[in-house]
Structure 1
């Protein structure tokens, strides 16, 4: 072959390779294995930076019909995800009211995630977890004893603190729950909630949890409401070495009814991807909210199939394939 032609073929091949989309459904546990944290980055079993992209289940007590194996398979196959967040309700009829029923839902989706080669975040989903520390410690002790040997599992100790102080209240709470988990599971990633509905990662960056490995910090946003100011705040924390995981985000504006913001969502995704941040979208449900991924009355065997996606769901599934 003419050397000039050969060079052109090589250039084209490299160009094509660089343009291939990175579908999260292909970046699962069997490929990346045991995760760890180094500096601000999430790493796979080979010490390479890895990004997780996926979906969050809706409040377990209000949409339990989606807490099953069929939904988890759909989250992998049709939502193009490598991670699912199990947002287990604590109050409002959740774990504090029905611990056995809620634990059964969690176990069902954890085992389905393992079967479908997904990572799964087990989330203590409330805003006052510091007032239920003993219950949280007991719950995570049980979960880590049963599933801590699997590389799939991650733990989110406190969904969204509100006005609690980081150093005097949130940090000691997290340390108590971490201690319970580490007694059973020395390695899997633990993600800890930050102040002001998991936005004040800057406070955690000033006083991070020490003497522990594989700890990450939660950032939450809703694209049309939380804009450049929050990205700037989070970037400052990352620049100080804080490892962040976006365990909950929405494409919508929470201040207005049923308004998805594609432009601001794109800015958030670009920023998150540039920092190799992992993220899970709120939420797998069919409620009348702009952030819902599914249209009304979506059956579990149709989760994330094209004809059953909302405007938000279509944007998120497309993003998970990039």
Structure 2
């Protein structure tokens, strides 16, 4: 039994106020496409907001989202189909789908219309299944988010305008800022220019901001969370992202996450049980330390990635996405089985 069905009784009073699911498309009206299935996690918890250092639901109760990130849409969109998304929502019981749209590397900049429409569609697919949709502006190379500021303004203006009436949208505006010259001050400046663009259309959505050194709060470059904690954004309803790969990132990263979460609202928008390359052996012991810490501190998390890529970090065995069988564990790699259990827990 998935997490949605386990939580239905707890959330029933709130869920009964939400209309039933519709067959939404990217061109559906706002009223139609904002509908969430009654009893689903996103319907029951409603519009999320940052309360203090935590993520809270519309009633002010702390929540911890757990789910999966897509791989790059330009490479593995074939893994996002009716059967696989049904399995994620119902068999896994995931609360959130991170829609990972690369900007370079064959992504958005090559065809903005195509990739924007893909994101619209996957937002609707997440909504139909009662999941939160985390829209990931997956800037990576170059590492300075300001390089893509104009593109980001165009993209997020359209996304926020179309989906502003939904209560299940989160915006991740800078995946992994990187480079020695990409200081927190540069990232902060980018966020201060882009967040008002989103808020002009969607005033109450949570915005997630990447942190220095591959969203590690600087630890990957020998620093720590102090640079961000001493100079936070003054805009409300903002969280800061942290990424880790357990086979590469040990106690120093774990301690950084722990300290940062005591100072700032943190959301782990990407992690793996293997090496930072997304490949190699799994370190499930270290991964469990992270899982336990995130449960203790109510830190939401998203695992990388929901595809059948050959690397160990992709949850499905190679070739799975060419078929329509995604439920259960027979189609999963070892990391997939491990993560599925933690999502369902």
User: 1:253 deviation in Å?
Assistant: 2.0
Q: Which residue of 2 aligns with 1:108?
A: 121
Task: Check whether the contact 1:25–1:76 (CA below 8 A) recurs between aligned residues.
Answer: no
| Bigger mean CA offset, 293-302 vs 178-187 | 293-302
Cα separation, 2, equivalents of 1:158 and 1:256: 19
User: 1:234 deviation in Å?
Assistant: 2.0
| Deviation string, structure 1 residues 247-306 (Cα, Å, up to 9, x no partner) | 000011236952111111111100111110000110001111111100011136323532
Q: What residue ranges of structure 2 are gaps of 5+ in the alignment? A: 8-40, 219-224
Q: Which residue of 2 aligns with 1:137?
A: 153
User: 1:73 deviation in Å?
Assistant: 2.1
User: 1:22 deviation in Å?
Assistant: 9.0
For residue 239 of structure 2, the aligned residue among 207, 216, 227 is 216
TM-score normalised by length of structure 2: 0.83
Matched, 1:192 2:209: yes
Cα separation, 2, equivalents of 1:137 and 1:25: 38
| Deviation string, structure 1 residues 226-252 (Cα, Å, up to 9, x no partner) | 111112112222222x00000000011
TM-score normalised by length of structure 1: 0.88
Structure-2 change in CA distance of 1:171 and 1:256 (3 Å): closer
Cα separation, 2, equivalents of 1:144 and 1:34: 14
Q: Structure 2 matches for 1:87-98, cutoff 5 A?
A: 87-98=100-111
Matched, 1:288 2:268: no
Q: Which residue of 2 aligns with 1:7?
A: none
User: 1:71 deviation in Å?
Assistant: 3.0
Matched, 1:319 2:342: yes
Cα separation, 1, equivalents of 2:213 and 2:177: 6
Matched, 1:23 2:3: yes
User: 1:33 deviation in Å?
Assistant: 0.8
Q: Which residue of 2 aligns with 1:183?
A: 200
Structure-2 change in CA distance of 1:25 and 1:90 (3 Å): farther
Cα separation, 2, equivalents of 1:231 and 1:143: 34
Q: Which residue of 1 aligns with 2:52?
A: 39
Cα separation, 2, equivalents of 1:238 and 1:264: 18
Q: Which residue of 1 aligns with 2:253?
A: 230
Cα separation, 2, equivalents of 1:79 and 1:301: 16
Cα separation, 1, equivalents of 2:4 and 2:287: 18
Q: Which residue of 1 aligns with 2:273?
A: 251
Moved over 6 A (4+): none
Cα separation, 1, equivalents of 2:305 and 2:281: 15
Secondary structure of 1:280 counterpart: strand
Q: What residue ranges of structure 1 are gaps of 5+ in the alignment? A: 1-20
Cα separation, 2, equivalents of 1:79 and 1:117: 13
Q: Which is higher, the Rg of structure 1 or of structure 2?
A: 1
Cα separation, 2, equivalents of 1:151 and 1:256: 32
User: 1:81 deviation in Å?
Assistant: 0.3
Task: Check whether the contact 2:258–2:293 (CA below 8 A) recurs between aligned residues.
Answer: no
Matched, 1:153 2:166: no
Matched, 1:310 2:333: yes
Q: Which residue of 2 aligns with 1:123?
A: 136
For residue 51 of structure 1, the aligned residue among 64, 67, 83 is 64
Task: Check whether the contact 1:73–1:112 (CA below 8 A) recurs between aligned residues.
Answer: no
User: 1:40 deviation in Å?
Assistant: 1.0
Matched, 1:63 2:86: no
